[in-house]
């Protein structure tokens, strides 16, 4: 079984709709991250969480919110989706020693 | 501002030839350097990292990278390329000044031709 899972894997939605992307991990890591990937721009950090009670904004948090429901779960919400939020979204985890990050398979989101 | 540059959008190499994917960085403080690979329709996978010590680090799938402090570079290399190495490669750097968050390069598409 995959260590970091994301649901859904693909989603097409309309402008103005509320969308939630979910991430679960079985690695036992405290730190979790949400990134978006756009062609030619690499990965940009949206939000990150060092533990259940610690949530931090990343480089591009506007238009997004997150919830850390448990150590193993970190959800990303788009309250009112817009077309320029069309992207590939990745969840990642890392441990307290700040070593390498482990990525989920990604969610491809299209906002029409 | 702290940044990571991957100067080549795409690198083309014939199978069996050596490959190099370039990465340079501009950060304050001592860098932790990483390479990740992304295969089509997959998440990113960790390849290797430099934290301290020997400037030449070895990673997964026969890849290695050399940390060059004076040139602020961390180029990814492999002596003999395989078609299966074709993928998107990302360089990333982390420092205390970036609050230990990763700063990512834009990625380099590596194409290995038979």
Give B107's contacts in chain A (Cβ within 8 Å). Answer: 40, 42
**Around Cβ B14, how many Cβ atoms within 10 Å?**
11
Give B101's contacts in chain A (Cβ within 8 Å). Answer: 45, 48, 58
Taking an 8 Å cut-off on Cβ atoms, the answer to whether B106 and A90 are in contact is: no
- Over 70: is that where the pLDDT of B59 sits? yes
CA distances from B91 to A19, A84, A103, B95, B108 (A): 30, 25, 15, 14, 9
Confidence category of residue B83, pLDDT binned at 50, 70, 90: very high
pLDDT at A1: 57
Cα–Cα distance between A30 and A49 in angstroms, integer? 8
Taking an 8 Å cut-off on Cβ atoms, the answer to whether A40 and B9 are in contact is: yes
Low-confidence ranges of chain A (pLDDT < 70): 1-2, 98
Tell me the nearest-neighbour CA distance from A30 into chain B, angstroms.
15
Among the partner-chain residues B32, B45, B104, the one whose CB lies closest to the CB of A43 is: B104
């Amino acid at each position: 079984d995959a260590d970091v899972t994301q649901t859904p894997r693909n989603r097409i939605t309309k402008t103005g709709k509320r969308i939630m992307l979910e991430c679960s991990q079985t690695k036992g890591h405290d730190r979790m991250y949400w990134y978006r990937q756009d062609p030619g721009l690499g990965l940009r950090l949206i939000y990150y969480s060092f533990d259940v009670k610690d949530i931090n904004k990343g480089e591009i948090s506007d238009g997004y919110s997150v919830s850390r429901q448990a150590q193993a779960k970190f959800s990303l919400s788009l309250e009112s989706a817009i077309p320029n939020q069309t992207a590939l979204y990745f969840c990642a985890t890392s441990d307290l020693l700040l070593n390498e990050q482990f990525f989920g398979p990604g969610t491809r989101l299209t906002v029409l | 501002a702290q940044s990571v540059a991957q100067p080549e959008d795409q690198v083309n190499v014939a199978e069996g030839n050596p490959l190099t994917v370039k990465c340079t960085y501009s950060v304050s403080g001592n860098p932790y350097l990483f390479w990740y690979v992304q295969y089509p329709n997959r998440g990113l996978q960790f390849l290797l990292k430099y934290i301290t010590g020997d400037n030449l680090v070895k990673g997964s799938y026969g890849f290695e990278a050399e940390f060059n402090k004076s040139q602020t570079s961390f180029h990814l290399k492999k002596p003999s390329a395989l078609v299966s190495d074709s993928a998107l490669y990302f360089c990333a750097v982390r420092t205390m000044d970036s609050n230990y968050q990763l700063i990512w390069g834009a990625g380099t598409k590596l194409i290995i031709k038979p």
